[in-house]
């Protein structure tokens, strides 16, 4: 198995750039649709600041907005506020929560809504461990992720427990949608690769997966590194590219680490996701 954090000398490392004007939708480049909107590489709601100018048509924007919304509201949720994402201008200073409070007359403990400072809010971040993408080891395509997915959890008890007994630590979480999360990783990898390489040079693997048109290749192209790493204190999000040389071509692979700086009690950082982005002729 390749050591993804230690690419061998014949793997070329790339670093994502930003603020390019593309002038075509990066998800359906042959449709020549206008108007085009700007596209964040990492979602703005997660603190992403790198933008591709004029890079997404209206139809594709609706789909990627859904993917970003799922990640923002259901995966990272309140952690976005605690992390203090630099671009999150509407960051609230308080968050609502229900606590048990004793009623004066009956002495019964009843649910009571209060607002507490963001720093005191109890929450939990859960991120999935996906298998390594099959394409990395030349395994045959797999149709879907396992239902019993291993999740890493980071608990942030906050300080509300010192004063109250909280009932609901946040909005109700539905079952984790690994496919939607993986498609958002694909979107981040694809847009970062376009920023680095331009739109036309490579044979792109991900647009139909991002748009939901191809549903049976997600574990083949999108997964996780299988090793746990320490946090990277100086980085909010990290995207690194490397080239895996194959017999007839090269495979452009992205490593994505969201909230790379997350500090936890056991000093294990967030997972590093591995996404096969494109193939390229070897020169
Ligand atoms: Zn489009």
Distance 251 CA to ligand 1 centre (A): 24
pLDDT at 3 over 50: no
Task: Name the more confident of 224 and 118.
Answer: 224
- Quote the pLDDT of residue 166: 62
pLDDT at 234 over 60: yes
Q: Pick from 84, 283, 94, 91: which is nearest to 202 by CA? A: 283
- Quote the pLDDT of residue 168: 54
Quick: pLDDT tens for 45-63.
888 878 899 999 999 999 9
Distance 209 CA to ligand 1 centre (A): 13
Quick: pLDDT tens for 271-282.
999 999 999 988
Distance 25 CA to ligand 1 centre (A): 5
* CB-count burial class (<10 Å; 0-12, 13-18, 19+) for 216: exposed
Contact 269, 230 (CB under 8 A): yes
- Quote the pLDDT of residue 136: 93
Q: In sequence order, what are the beta bridge partners of 252?
A: 243, 278
Q: What is the average pLDDT across 69-81?
A: 84
Distance 198 CA to ligand 1 centre (A): 16
The alpha-helical segments, DSSP class H, found in 38-87 are 58-70, 79-83
Distance 218 CA to ligand 1 centre (A): 20
pLDDT band (50, 70, 90) for residue 9: very low
- Quote the pLDDT of residue 13: 43
Distance 193 CA to ligand 1 centre (A): 17
Distance 148 CA to ligand 1 centre (A): 34
Q: What is the DSSP letter of 82?
A: H
Secondary structure element (H or E) that encloses residue 183, with its range: helix 178-197
Quick: pLDDT tens for 84-138.
655 445 667 888 888 788 888 888 888 888 888 877 777 778 889 999 999 998 8
pLDDT at 256 over 90: yes
Domain boundaries, the chain: 13-280
Kindly report whether the peptide bond that precedes residue 133 is cis, defined as omega within 30 degrees of 0.
Answer: no
Neighbours of ion ligand 1 (CB under 5 A): 25, 27-28, 57, 60
Distance 278 CA to ligand 1 centre (A): 18
Distance 252 CA to ligand 1 centre (A): 22
Distance 56 CA to ligand 1 centre (A): 5
Quick: pLDDT tens for 131-186.
999 999 888 888 888 877 788 877 776 766 666 666 654 444 557 899 999 999 99
The alpha-helical segments, DSSP class H, found in 71-126 are 79-83
Q: How many CB atoms lie within 10 A of CB 240?
A: 18
What value does the mean pLDDT of the chain take? 82
Q: Return d(Cα 79, Cα 97) in angstroms, integer.
A: 15
């Amino acid at each position: 198995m390749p050591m993804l954090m230690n690419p061998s000398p014949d793997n070329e490392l790339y670093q994502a750039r930003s603020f390019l004007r593309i002038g075509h939708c990066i998800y359906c480049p042959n449709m020549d649709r206008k108007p085009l909107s700007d596209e964040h590489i990492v979602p703005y709601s997660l603190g992403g600041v790198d933008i591709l100018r004029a890079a997404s048509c209206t139809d594709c924007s609706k789909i990627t907005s859904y993917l970003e919304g799922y990640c923002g509201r259901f995966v990272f949720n309140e952690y976005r506020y605690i992390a203090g994402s630099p671009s999150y201008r509407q960051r609230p200073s308080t968050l609502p929560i229900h606590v048990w409070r004793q009623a004066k007359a009956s002495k019964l403990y009843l649910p009571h809504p209060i607002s507490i400072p963001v720093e005191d809010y109890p929450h939990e971040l859960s991120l999935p461990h996906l298998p390594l993408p099959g394409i990395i080891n030349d395994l045959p395509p797999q149709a879907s992720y396992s239902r019993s997915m291993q999740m890493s959890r980071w608990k942030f008890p906050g300080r509300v427990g010192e004063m109250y007994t909280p009932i609901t630590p946040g909005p109700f979480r539905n079952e984790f949608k690994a496919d939607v999360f993986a498609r958002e990783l694909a979107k981040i990898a694809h847009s970062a690769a376009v920023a680095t390489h331009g739109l036309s040079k490579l044979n792109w693997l991900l647009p139909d997966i991002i748009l939901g048109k191809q549903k049976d290749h997600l574990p083949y192209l999108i997964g996780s590194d299988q090793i746990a790493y320490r946090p990277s204190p100086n980085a909010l999000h990290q995207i690194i590219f490397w080239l895996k040389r194959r017999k007839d071509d090269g495979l452009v692979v992205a490593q994505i680490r969201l909230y790379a700086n997350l500090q936890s009690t056991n000093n294990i950082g967030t997972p590093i996701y591995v996404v096969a982005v494109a193939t390229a002729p070897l020169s």
